Structure 1
Amino acid sequence: MSYRELARAVPPPFLLLGLVARLHYSITPIGTLTLLYAATGSHTFAGVATAAQSIATAAGGIGLGALADRFGPRAVGLTAATTHAVCAGALVAASGGERPAMVAAAIAMGLTQPAVGPMARVHWARLLRARGRVDLVSTALSYETVADEIGFVVGPAVAGLLTAAIGPVAPLSAVALLSAGAATPFALFYARTAPPRRPAVAARPRYGPLVAMALAAAALGAVFGSVQTGVTSYAAERAEPGGAGLLYALLAVGSSVAGIAYAWLPSRIRDTHRYAGAALGLLLGTTVLAAGSAWLPLAITVAGFSIAPYMISAYALAERLSGGRGTATTLMAVSAGGPIGTAIAQAVAGRVADAGGSAAALAVAPVAAGAALLVAVGVLVGESMGPRTGGIPMPPTRRAG
């Protein structure tokens, strides 16, 4: 394993473009929420419209993955990135009009989300397997997870600074620029560096594993949603509403550190065992978080250490379960589960926060983590049963050399 070897596998601009191009993903929801509240003065409307956008992102991601498996990433990536830029501009324009137009534009933004992170993972999987460097796939997934975490720290901060300096239209204007100026060339670069696609091979993902991994992602999204709601309530209880973002960022700090270290795990540890161990760690970490209101910043950081290993192992397992058939669809399904789980948990945690405060909202997180562990146990059982007894089929892990 070597990050240096990974960097040598592609020209440096690919890494830089991939990092910049994914910033729009974390800017979009907070930018939409800010813009629509400024336009209507209604938290309820802004929240509902943003939730609809998140659901559209999940549905659109699966559709884009299926299209990428069928037609290749170049056409799909270019179309999504350019259309997303247009839709962002349309939402800015619609904010001066009627509410139905705002909702329609918000949903259109979600449906056309380029999903740079998942598509980059598809690229790494295809490229490294084609070069016989399966040993670097885990390293690549570790890098992508850390890049995602950087995006989720930097993106909201950029949105806040732009709003303060220019106004509520600025974040989504930045999304349009990022989609056109970074995600679009990234799609072109992906097409040049990815191994040639073989159109004779039909994209037929295994739907059992696909559903399992989507549920795994939804459980993690529910952890995110409950923590977001919990820290918002915690900050409000202390009359420090601006502190919610800083507290939530600590989750990404712990996750980034663990994500970098994950690549050094011994290759002999199976994907399923890594995933199950990460799911157990997620449950333990969120339990510490739920019980640590007196030391919440430290508890959030500790809980964050379990996030990246869970994400990386889930993506790695999903990629292997796809067996090379419908890889983009499968990885998009993993990504799509997150927003759905987040939206559900935000609704549940918001209700319990109204009744019991931040501690009650944070208690939703270990419940979601427990669901994640149940999925992991199911995957382990499926592996042990094997395809002859109806379990989840597990393609053999190929080694380099």
Structure 2
Amino acid sequence: MLRTRYACRTFGAALLGRLSYGMGSLSLVLAIKEATDSYAVAGTVMALFGLTSVFLSPVRAGLVDRYGLRQALLPMAAAYALLLTGLAFATAWPGASGILLGILAVPAGACTPPLGPVMRTLWSDLVPDRRLLQRAYSLDTVAEELLFVTGPLLVGLLVQVAAPSVGLAASAALILIGSLALSSSPAVRGWTGREKAPAEPTLPKGLVPGKRSSPLRRWLRHGDPGLRQAITVSAAVGMCLGAFDLLVIAFADEHQNPSMVAWVLAALSGGSAIGGLVYGTVPWRASSRLRLAFLAVALGLPLAIMGLSPHPCILIAWAAIGGLFVAPALTTAYLIADECADPASRTRAGAWVNTAFNAGSAGATAAIGLLVGRLPLPVCFALAAAPAVLSAATALHRPRRPKLTTVAPIKMERERTSNGEPQPSVDR
């Protein structure tokens, strides 16, 4: 798959830019905390940055679909890099204003370039073979997860010799260089965008459309039921992993073994990497929807059992088992989104899956934080696993035809009879 023409060059450029995401969040937290000496300000600014980045992701991806990669992605990357540089300068000295940092963080989050969805769309163009595309998506998911592991490690090394604001400047440089390298790849030459949305479908004569929904709802229903399943399961996986991080810390506190947290998270990431690479090499016969439902259940059950672990080593083993299904589940969700979306909206479809994952992770972290300490830890683990298990039911949903209303036959007969036309037969 990597021998495909332009694949290594394009993928390498995207990974270079996406490394900025692995370094940016931790660098921003450390820089704000050092400049303001306030965890409250750091948390608030990070929340503003994260919310605008997550919830505007489909909008940014839609701009790339509509206007093309070079016309939309490069201005976003330039604005994002400029705002990160501004945050780096603002946090370089103590006493920075929290209001100023918030003013810079909101547009920075809004301009975050959608390099992940863009790369997955490019994979669809580079690798038309669906079996090779599965491998490409698996490799992409595993590589992205490893970037979010190595990024904080690089920040940890960097702050030993420089201020955290230097990490922000490095993130700005990475996103700009990666975006420029990606846009210069020959693989994006044919990506010119679309000037207008596709026309509404023409209905047969005698049929009128039912109640029209909003544009967003119509777009989400375009891949019904596959696209909605991909978004639902992705959100459920995000909820499981978001809650899992906090539950592991609570488990470590309960067993008075704080050092186990790193081992548990490493086991989860290692299992995910192994599972993703193996999943990409298997020629599956089952449909993507059935595979996604199975993977969601296979992820949720080990998470539910983890709460019953009598020893940290048992928890680490269950984390490795559950991690085997993380990357395959996300890979399958992205594959389904690509299959359901039309060529003019593939980037936005992938962005919706990504947004659902991030939103689910953030929401579950907040929710489980209210439950830990009030409910027994095994119950909290079971509640965290419930969304993934329940999301498997989306595979049972059958597609429904659009609601159409037949014009009254009697009225049609009267109109045609009055015009002297022969009486039509009515097909019931």
* Category of TM-score, reference length = shorter chain: 0.7 to 0.9
8 Å CA contact 2:307–2:377 kept in 1: the answer is no
Letter in 2 for 1:349: I
Closer, same or farther: CA 10–306 of 1 in aligned 2, 3 Å: same
**Partner residue, 1:261:** 278
- Distance in 1 between residues matched to 2:288 and 2:2, nearest whole Å: 20
Deviation digits for residues 58-83 of structure 1 (CA, Å, limit 9, x no counterpart): 12311111101101112222122222
Q: Within 5 A, what are the aligned runs for 1:222-237? A: 222-236=239-253
Deviations for 1:170-219, whole angstroms, at most 9, x for unmatched residues? 32222112112223322332x64464447377369831245553333222
Aligned partner of residue 159 in structure 2, secondary structure? helix
Change (3 A) 1:287 1:224: same
Match of 1:397 in 2: none
Indicate the residue corresponding to 2:393 in structure 1. Answer: 377
Question: 144, 149, 154: which one pairs with 1:148?
Answer: 144
CA contact (8 A) 1:20 1:182 kept: yes
- State whether residues 62 and 329 of structure 1, in contact with CA within 8 Å, keep that contact through their aligned partners in structure 2: yes
> Separation in 2 of the partners of 1:285 and 1:194?
45
The corresponding residue for 1:110 is 109
Query: Which residues of structure 2 form unaligned runs of 5+?
Result: 199-214, 405-428
Is structure 2 residue 18 aligned with structure 1 residue 22? yes
| Superposition pairs of residues 1-400 of structure 1, within 5 angstroms | 5-95=1-91, 96-129=95-128, 133-189=129-185, 192-193=187-188, 195-197=190-192, 199=194, 202=197, 206-208=219-221, 209=223, 210=227, 212-236=229-253, 244-292=261-309, 294=311, 295-355=314-374, 362-370=381-389, 373-374=390-391, 376-382=392-398, 385-387=399-401
Inter-CA distance 30–230: structure 2 relative to 1 (3 Å threshold): farther
Cα displacement (A) at 1:162:
1.6
| 2:56 alignment partner, SS class | helix
1:324 is aligned with what amino acid? P
Tell me the amino acid that sits aligned with residue 206 of structure 1: W
Question: CA-to-partner distance for each residue in 1:112-145, whole Å, 9 max, x for gaps?
Answer: 222322211011113333xxx2332111111111
* Structure 1 residue runs without a partner (length 5+): 391-401
How many angstroms apart in 2 are the aligned matches of 1:107 and 1:216? 28
Q: Secondary structure at the match of 2:283?
A: coil
| 2: CA distance, partners of 1:169 / 1:243 | 30
Contact 2:241–2:361, Cα closer than 8 Å, also in 1: yes
Alpha-carbon separation, structure 1, partners of 2:259 and 2:168:
21
Deviation at 1:17, TM superposition (A): 2.1
C-alpha separation in 1, matches of 2:102 and 2:195: 40
Counterparts of 1:366 and 1:27, CA distance in 2 = 29
Residues 322-331 or 263-272, more deviating: 263-272
- Contact between 1:53 and 1:107, CA under 8 Å: does it hold in 2? yes
Between 25-34 and 241-250, the greater mean CA deviation after superposition: 241-250
* Partners of 2:7 and 2:126 within 8 A in 1: no
Q: Which has the higher helix share?
A: 1
Structure 1 residue identity aligned to 2:110: L
Distance 1:246 1:171 in 2: 26
Q: Is the 8 A contact 2:13 2:179 kept in 1?
A: yes
**CA contact under 8 A between 1:142 and 1:259: conserved in structure 2?**
yes
What is the alpha-carbon distance in structure 1 between the residues aligned to residue 376 and residue 28 of structure 2?
A: 26
Say which SS state the counterpart of residue 307 (structure 2) adopts: helix
Shift of 1:259: 0.4
Matched residue of 1:291: which SS?
Answer: coil
Q: 2: distance between equivalents of 1:303 and 1:51?
A: 29
Summarize the Cα distance change of 1:242–1:155 in structure 2 as closer, same or farther, 3 Å threshold: farther
Counterpart code for 1:77: L
Q: Residue 268 of structure 1: SS of its match in structure 2? A: coil
Equivalent residue of 1:65, what SS? Answer: helix
8 Å contact 1:226–1:364 — kept in the other structure?
no
Q: Normalization by structure 1: what TM-score?
A: 0.84
Deviations 1:275-303 (A, max 9, x none): 11111112223223333362222222111
Deviations 1:290-341 (A, max 9, x none): 3336222222211111101110111101111113341111111111112211
Q: Is the 8 A contact 2:65 2:347 kept in 1?
A: yes
* TM-score normalized by the length of structure 2: 0.80
Quote the offset at 1:369 in angstroms: 1.8
Could you tell which deviates more after superposition, 212-221 or 297-306?
212-221
Q: What amino acid sits opposite 2:106 in the alignment? A: I
Q: CA deviation at 1:387?
A: 3.4
Cα distance change of structure 1 residues 379 and 363 upon mapping to structure 2, 3 Å threshold = closer
